[in-house]
Amino acid sequence: MRCLWLERGRLELRTDRPAPSPGPGEALVEVRLAGVCATDLELLRGYAGFTGVPGHELVGTVVSADGATGWVGARVVAEINAACGACEACRAGLGRHCPTRTVLGIVGRDGAFADLVTIPVANLHRVPDAVPDEAAVFCEPLAAALEVAEQVHLGPADRVLLVGAGRLGQLVARVLALAGCDVLAVARHARHRELLERVGVATCGPDDVEARGRFGVVVEASGSPAGFELARRAVRPRGTIVLKSTYAAGRLELDASSIVVDEVTIVGSRCGPFAPALRLLERGAVDVAPLVEARYPIERGADAFEHAARPAALKVLLTMGRAS
């Protein structure tokens, strides 16, 4: 089969990989469409020390499913954390935090930039007919955006600041807007601003935040230390900063005393729930179509990565030749 192979900071097309063999409880999924995410770009720079097939945003068709033949032929999206199902975290319903988990295309498990991928049946979700492939492929990052609402109470009367208006920020903005919040987004690029204003989210530049007062909730989706500093200055006492991006630099400097004095809460936020993401896509409450920037066939994977790394780039999709 064809796949993109990442090894030692290089990405290359391979056309001679054998089809993967699903293990117990796993499905074999034919990938229809996959999305390139910032994490994929980080993997290329060495994040998580990953060697193998990257790709964790996908929509596909089930070819086979161990012990669950009802799935065969289903169009699916898939949660990316493959949990043991038996440990304390799993028993507490926190499989996304299973300490021995593998993560699709990120940790110990080949991902979706390939014709075929194996995924635990327990991770699959059927895609409603009303949701086209190009929307379904956003399910994983939309679930990550919804995780903000899962962790932090977003009151409809809240004033919320969003720092970062790229791929993930655009989805977070849509979630915040649906909650009825008064949302201001810090956006550097005209295209990002325009997309946000279309969904009723006001925007400003980073230097204009101070004049807008303080915010009860600030979502930091830029992944930059400067974005975190901005979030820290903009949050009001007793307010909450949500860290929605992993930080390439890894470490941040924190003025701990000021966090204590102002009683600020900082919430790390990662993967989220798929079911509400699919519901919102099915209801048409979140329109992701304008966020698709480009489509590349898998053979042009390197070009797709290069495109996704451009400043202000939105979603770049990899097509396997079978997307609807």
Residues that bind a copy of itself (CB under 8 A): 89, 94, 97, 99, 147, 151, 228, 236-238, 243-247, 250-270
Residues with Cβ within 8 Å of residue 31, at least 6 apart in sequence? 55, 58, 59, 60, 112, 113, 114, 115, 116, 117, 320
Nearest distance from C-beta of residue 95 to a copy of itself, angstroms = 11
Nearest distance from C-beta of residue 2 to a copy of itself, angstroms = 30
| Centroid of chain to Cα 172 | 10
Nearer to a copy of itself, 190 or 261 (CB): 261
Report the SS3 class of residue 136.
helix
The 10 Å CB-count burial string (b at 16+, else e) for 309-324 is eeeebbbbbbbbeebe
Residues with Cβ within 8 Å of residue 27, at least 6 apart in sequence? 62, 63, 64, 65, 66, 68, 71, 76, 118, 119, 120, 121, 124
Q: Count Cβ atoms below 10 Å from residue 166 Cβ, excluding itself.
A: 22
Of the candidates 85, 77, 103, 74, the residue with the CA atom closest to the CA atom of residue 25:
85
β-partners of residue 5 are 12
How many angstroms separate the CA atoms of 128 and 276, rounded? 12
Nearer to a copy of itself, 99 or 180 (CB): 99
Nearer to a copy of itself, 93 or 311 (CB): 93
Nearer to a copy of itself, 99 or 321 (CB): 99
How many angstroms separate the CA atoms of 217 and 234, rounded? 9
The number of residues in the chain equals 324
Residues with Cβ within 8 Å of residue 76, at least 6 apart in sequence? 27, 29, 59, 60, 61, 62, 124, 125, 126, 127
Nearer to a copy of itself, 19 or 87 (CB): 87
Nearest distance from C-beta of residue 148 to a copy of itself, angstroms = 11
Nearest distance from C-beta of residue 252 to a copy of itself, angstroms = 4
Nearest distance from C-beta of residue 91 to a copy of itself, angstroms = 13
Nearest distance from C-beta of residue 160 to a copy of itself, angstroms = 16
Nearer to a copy of itself, 57 or 134 (CB): 57
Amino acid type, 52: G
Nearer to a copy of itself, 49 or 250 (CB): 250
Nearer to a copy of itself, 129 or 253 (CB): 253
The sign of the CA dihedral 198, 204, 210, 211 is negative
Nearest distance from C-beta of residue 90 to a copy of itself, angstroms = 11
Nearest distance from C-beta of residue 269 to a copy of itself, angstroms = 6
Report yes or no: 29 and 3 within 8 Å, Cβ to Cβ: no
